[in-house]
A and B are shown apart, each in its own frame.
Chain A
């Protein structure tokens, strides 16, 4: 084994070692990103739950009637005619 060859072998070993470290670092970054995205996903889903229930409160028939009354309106079901108000 000559010196250049030995140096070449060493360089290759070092390169492989560095590659392993870089790949592991990228992999860890990717895993960390996945965790973050998963947490975001959970947080967004929980926000969705909250929004769904806020919407449910707005759709409550009595709340709609009260809000209409505050604005000076009366709620009639669709299709109502004046003849119904006998």
Chain B
């Protein structure tokens, strides 16, 4: 009896529990079938949040890893005009915290229309952002956005370029390398609880951000800064229109510096005219003047048409060659081949040009890379101006050797001069060294394969470097470039500025330049400085205006690169204050 009672009780108990469970299941089935889709949708809206994961745009760094262009985050204040209970009050709140005039905000808020997102101020301080949050005004908030910054300000601005408001490159390397630099935003979908705390990752809801790749340049910020500083000082001292500087390593073609003055600050690019954005080292060809003479002189020597020590009649400064009169800035009577370059005689070079003739002149000029692009890895390069051989005449024969009737970009000239510094080879210049990922692993090695083209025989290069171009610096027009511990070799240039549209040259307008390299026994730097239209009353000769700039760049750069001093450098006791002619 008792056991039957126990069984019944147990069965009743289990039966009750089973019924309860069945009722629950039934209720679940009913909810799922009748209101299921609606409830699921509401749950997703309430619980699920999509959070974007911001990818960082890649850095642009110099050859030593110093950041020239980078991305950081900033706080910005926004308003949702549709939900603001009182636009005027919200504007006053924001204005008082952000130290703005409310009248700057209210009209735009009122005119916002259907917009749900209106930016009031970008880049506010952390303290202001916190105060906006604590103000608790519904519809007024703070968001974090990435923005591009250039911590070195104007450094290499013409080369680096800048980005637009949406973070895409629009100029310079920022534009050219945009595909590498541009990262991919990720996304995270999360489930929130009733307190809006994230507690679960939604199914399939995580895609990590991929940061952009970093671009490593051959530019050295220290050398770049030196070039920019000394170039700016010279342009200002001589009241010139502008200046360009290029520094290259002659063996590898790596560009260590590429400067333009005046430049601009990419952090505030809108404050500058578009003229300033140009990288004139590759976009603006000019007549090189006397800096072109070494190329022709070396070519004549290589062809065996002249020899060291050969004497030329320089006609006492005025030479009637057919209908044309060639003049020297200083009257010379008889000069040796070397002295023609050292003292920069136009008449002497004209006679050397006649020995070469147009065909050989053209061949050698093109061998040095003039008349075509250098192949540098930068957009917008100009090929310079070199007329086709069929259009050359007897004027050309005596003009080209003194650097007229031809226009070259500063990079073309610097690159060609590398031939005298590396044993006779024409290198391909480059600026982008490599592309690396965020961990420093190389994604793409951009070092170009250098063509092994011998433009001049090594013995000719050695003679030009040691017997001619070194003497330009030791005793010629380049005396102001002499360094105490290094033998510098190079050539000055004082070229007239051609009139736009042709028809001769501008009056009293010159381009003062110097191209050189050091140390002579193992050159590590080729430097070209071009200063356009200095004030003639203050000075205009290349050795006077551009020479000291090159000297300072070499002095600083060689010490910075820890190049051992040259024990055979000539003793320099004092700077000559004598006349510097080109």
In the complex, what distance in Å separates the CA atom of A62 from the CA atom of B155? Answer: 9
| Interface of B, helix, strand, loop or mixed by DSSP | mixed
Chain A nearest CB from B486 CB (Å) reads 9
A32 touches B199 (CB 8 A): yes
With A6-B14, A59-B66, A84-B559 known as contacts, the answer to whether A28 contacts B200 (CB < 8 A) is yes
Contacts of B226 in A (CB 8 A): 61
Distance between Cα atoms of A76 and B71 in the complex (Å)? 31
> Measured between alpha carbons, how far is A34 from B11 in the docked complex, in Å?
47
B574: A residues at CB distance < 8 A = 86
B73 and A77 form a contact (CB under 8 A)? no
One of A46, A52, A76, A81 near B485 (C-beta < 8 A): A81
- Determine if B155 and A86 form an interchain contact, defined as CB atoms under 8 angstroms apart: no
CA distance A9 to B15 in the complex (A): 13
A60 close to B73 (CB less than 8 A): no
Q: Is the C-beta of A1 less than 8 angstroms from some C-beta in chain B?
A: yes
Are B13 and A10 within 8 A (Cβ)? yes
Residues on A with C-beta less than 8 A from B225 are 60-62, 65
Given A35-B190, A62-B229, is A2 in contact with B73 using a C-beta cutoff of 8 Å? no
Within the complex, which residue of A6, A38, A56, A65 is in contact with B152, where a contact is CB–CB below 8 Å?
A: A56
User: Chain A 26-49 against B: per-residue CB contact (8 Å), 1 yes, 0 no?
Assistant: 001101101100100010001001
| Cβ contacts under 8 Å, B556 to chain A | 77
**A76 to B66, alpha carbons, bound, how many Å?**
19
**Is B198 an interface residue when CB atoms closer than 8 A count as contact?**
yes
Tell whether B463 is near chain A: CB-to-CB under 8 Å.
no
Given A1-B7, A28-B199, A84-B555, answer yes or no on A56-B66 (Cβ-Cβ < 8 Å).
yes
* A78 near B198: Cβ-Cβ < 8 Å: no
What is the CA–CA distance of A65 and B230 in the complex, to the nearest angstrom? 13
Instruction: Say whether chain A's binding surface is mostly helix, strand, loop, or mixed.
Output: helix
Please measure, in the bound complex, the distance between the C-alpha atom of A3 and the C-alpha atom of B9, giving whole angstroms. Answer: 7
Task: Report which residue of B11, B54, B560 has the largest number of chain A beta carbons within 10 angstroms of its beta carbon.
Answer: B560
Q: Which residues of A contact B68 (CB under 8 A)?
A: 56
Contact between A77 and B200 (Cβ–Cβ < 8 Å)? no
State in angstroms the CA–CA spacing of A84 and B565 once bound together: 10
Residues of A close to B568: CB separation below 8 A: none
Interface digits, B184-205 against A, CB 8 Å rule (1 contact, 0 not)? 0000101001000111110000
Q: Is the pair A84, B199 in contact by a Cβ cutoff of 8 Å?
A: no
CB of A83 within 8 A of CB of B560, answer no
Task: Compute how far the CA of A80 lies from the CA of B70 in the bound complex, rounded to whole angstroms.
Answer: 32
Residues A57 and B151 in contact, CB atoms below 8 Å apart: yes
* Inter-chain contact B73/A46, CB cutoff 8 Å: yes
**Does B41 touch A at the CB level, under 8 Å?**
no
Interface pair B73/A79, CB less than 8 Å apart: no
Residues on the A chain within 8 Å of B224, using CB: 61
A1: chain B residues within 8 A (beta carbon): 7, 10-11, 14
- B13 engages A86 (CB within 8 Å): no
Interface pair A86/B221, CB less than 8 Å apart: no
B40 interfacial by beta-carbon distance below 8 Å: no
Q: Which residues of B contact A78 (CB under 8 A)?
A: 559-560, 562
Q: Is the pair A77, B560 in contact by a Cβ cutoff of 8 Å?
A: yes
Q: Are A52 and B10 in contact (CB under 8 A)?
A: no
Q: Give, as a whole number of angstroms, the nearest-CB distance from B565 to chain A.
A: 8
Q: Which of B190, B198, B201 has the most CB of A within 10 A?
A: B198
CB of A49, distance to nearest CB on chain B (Å): 5
Assess whether B198 is in contact with A60, with CB atoms less than 8 Å apart.
no
Contact status A53-B67, CB under 8 Å: yes
Q: Could you tell me which residues of chain B, from 529 to 582, have a CB within 8 Å of some CB in chain A?
A: 555-557, 559-560, 562, 572, 574-575
Chain B 57-91 against A: per-residue CB contact (8 Å), 1 yes, 0 no? Answer: 00000000011101111000000000000000000
Which residues of A are found within 8 Å of B200, using beta-carbon distances?
Answer: 28, 31-32
Please state if B6 and A3 are interface contacts (CB–CB under 8 Å): yes
- Tell me the smallest distance from the CB of B216 to a CB of chain A, in Å: 14
CB proximity to A under 8 Å, residues B515-537: none
CB contacts (< 8 Å) of A80 on chain B: these are 559
Q: Which residues of A contact B460 (CB under 8 A)?
A: none
Tell me which residues across on chain B come within 8 A of A6, comparing CB atoms: 10, 13-14
How distant is the Cα of A49 from the Cα of B69 in the complex, in angstroms? 12
Within the assembled complex, what's the spacing in Å between the Cα atoms of A10 and B542? 102
User: Residues of A contacting B73 with CB < 8 Å?
Assistant: 46, 49-50
Closest chain A residue to B572, Cβ basis:
A86
Q: Across the interface, do B198 and A2 meet the contact criterion of CB distance under 8 Å?
A: no
Report chain A residues within 8 Å CB of B13: 3, 6-7, 10
Chain B 394-427 per-residue mask, 1 if CB under 8 angstroms from chain A, else 0: 0000000000000000000000000000000000
Report the separation of the CA atoms of residues A53 and B68 in the bound assembly, to the nearest whole angstrom. 9
Instruction: Tell whether, in the assembled complex, residue B70 and residue A49 are in contact, meaning their CB atoms are under 8 Å apart.
Output: yes
Query: 5 pairs across A/B with beta carbons < 8 Å?
Result: A3-B10, A3-B13, A5-B10, A59-B67, A79-B560
Across the A-B interface, give the 6 residue pairs with the lowest CB-CB distance, nearest first: A61-B225, A56-B67, A56-B151, A77-B560, A77-B559, A32-B199
Given contacts A59-B221, A79-B559, A84-B555, 12 further A-B contacts (CB under 8 A): A1-B10, A2-B3, A2-B7, A2-B10, A3-B6, A10-B17, A28-B193, A32-B198, A35-B190, A46-B144, A77-B222, A84-B483
